[in-house]
């Protein structure tokens, strides 16, 4: 246990029921937000069993611990579900009624989490909700997710610390929002009168290529694209240098390529504003932050 002003950190693990029960027994929380998972889709193909244990059974362990401790009528639970459940999409845009077709070990595990939350709500009357979150990004995003990989590379290339960026499928389309806004919506879901599932998205879609383009623009670099498919390359318009290319190493065995959420229900029933931070502003926040990191790296390396 670590105390840091108002926040107390406990050590526990979603694969370890005893730690979950111990922590909940000590804290007796009013609200639980389960954001825990092995959340990288590509890595779930490398460690599928671990991903299933944590992202699927981990949810069950929390629900059971809450029941065992007699907190099922007092504790509200938020489960981080995901747009990856739509996977090989059945319709565009996706809303709360769109059928699922999970398309990775991660998404299959998350589907169990989604349904077990629904089941405990109906079977035991527990206040538990799924937030079906579309991609939520920020300057705190892990470095191996595509948006952060791009903003970090754009900053380092602008500072002369990196020559180019290698990506996988640049045609994949995502509905990217700002994580800070999405956390507000998670909280609103637990303040609601009754437990329900909600799509949390912006309703705006862009390609990985478009995100890349704009992140470089924030850094004052304009590019021109040549070629297609695995031969697609981005060149600096002023120097003619190749800055972006495709490396099939980043392709996935099955990739989700057309995610676009319809946040109407969250807007209507929770009063949530999906456009608080625009796509352009999100990229600016991330790119400016990561340019600053690159500047510091450069200053450090030249000492």
**List of residues contacting ligand F7E (CB under 6 A):** 39, 41-42, 82-84, 133-135, 144-147, 149, 167-169, 172, 174, 208, 250, 252, 255-256
Active site residue 33: no
Which residues, at least 6 apart from 296, have a Cβ–Cβ distance to it below 8 Å?
none
Distance separating alpha carbons of residues 160 and 212, to the nearest angstrom: 17
Residue whose entry in the numeric block shows the structure tokens 């495709």? 246
Identify the residue whose tokens are 């109407």: 264
In the complex, minimum distance from the CB of residue 179 to ligand F7E, in angstroms, rounded to a whole number = 10
- 3-class DSSP state of 165: strand
Q: Using the minimum distance from each CB to ligand F7E, give the nearer residue, 77 or 256.
A: 256
Q: CA–CA separation, 120 vs 117, rounded Å?
A: 5
Least Å distance, CB 136 to ligand F7E, is 7
Kindly tell me which of 24 and 89 has the beta carbon lying closer to ligand F7E: 89
Residues whose CB is less than 8 angstroms from the CB of residue 94 and which lie 6 or more positions away in sequence, other chains included: 83, 86, 199, 259, 260, 261, 262
Task: Give the Cα separation of 32 and 218 in Å (integer).
Answer: 38
Catalytic site residue from 106, 120, 182, 279: 106
- Residue closer to ligand F7E, measured from CB, 82 or 219: 82
CB of 260 to ligand F7E, least distance (A): 12
Q: Which of 78, 82, 202, 213 is catalytic?
A: 82
User: Which candidate in 78, 84, 182, 202 is catalytic?
Assistant: 84
Q: Compare residues 120 and 176 and give the one whose CB is closer to ligand F7E.
A: 176
Shortest distance in whole angstroms from residue 126 CB to ligand F7E: 23
Quote the least distance from Cβ 51 to ligand F7E, whole Å.
10
Annotation says 119 is catalytic: no
Q: Closer CB to ligand F7E, residue 24 or residue 167? A: 167
Do the Cβ atoms of 25 and 69 come closer than 8 Å? yes
Catalytic: 277?
no
CB 113 within 8 A of CB 59: yes
Secondary structure letter of residue 233 according to DSSP: E
> DSSP string of 171-199?
T-EE--EEHHHHHHHHHHHHHSSS---EE
Please list the active-site residues.
82, 84, 106
């Amino acid at each position: 246990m670590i105390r840091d002003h108002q926040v107390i950190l406990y050590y526990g693990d979603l694969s370890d029921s005893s730690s979950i029960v111990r922590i909940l027994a000590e804290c007796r929380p009013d609200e639980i937000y389960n954001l825990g998972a092995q959340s990288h889709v590509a890595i779930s193909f490398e460690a599928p069993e671990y991903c299933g244990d944590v992202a699927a059974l981990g949810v069950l362990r929390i629900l059971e611990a809450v029941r065992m401790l007699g907190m099922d009528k007092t504790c509200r639970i938020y489960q981080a579900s995901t747009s990856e459940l739509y996977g090989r999409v059945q319709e565009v845009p996706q809303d709360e009624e769109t059928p699922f077709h999970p398309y990775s070990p991660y998404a299959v595990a998350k589907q169990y989490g989604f349904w077990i939350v629904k089941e405990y709500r109906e079977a035991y009357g527990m206040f538990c909700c799924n937030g079906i979150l579309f991609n939520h990004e920020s300057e705190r995003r892990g470095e191996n997710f595509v948006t952060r990989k791009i903003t970090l590379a754009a900053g380092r290339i602008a500072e002369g610390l990196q020559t180019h960026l290698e990506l996988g499928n640049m045609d994949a389309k995502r509905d990217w929002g700002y994580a800070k806004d999405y956390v507000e919506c998670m909280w609103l879901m637990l303040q609601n009168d009754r437990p329900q599932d909600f799509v949390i998205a912006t309703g705006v879609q862009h390609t990985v290529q478009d995100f890349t383009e704009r992140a470089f623009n924030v850094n004052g670099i304009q590019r021109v694209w040549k070629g297609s498919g695995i031969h697609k390359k981005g060149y600096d318009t002023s120097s003619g240098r190749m800055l972006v290319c495709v490396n099939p190493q980043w392709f996935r065995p099955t990739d989700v390529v057309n995610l676009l959420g319809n946040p109407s229900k969250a807007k209507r029933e929770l009063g949530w504003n999906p456009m608080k931070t625009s796509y352009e502003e999100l990229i600016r926040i991330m790119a400016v932050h990561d340019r600053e990191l690159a500047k510091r790296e450069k200053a450090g390396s030249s000492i």
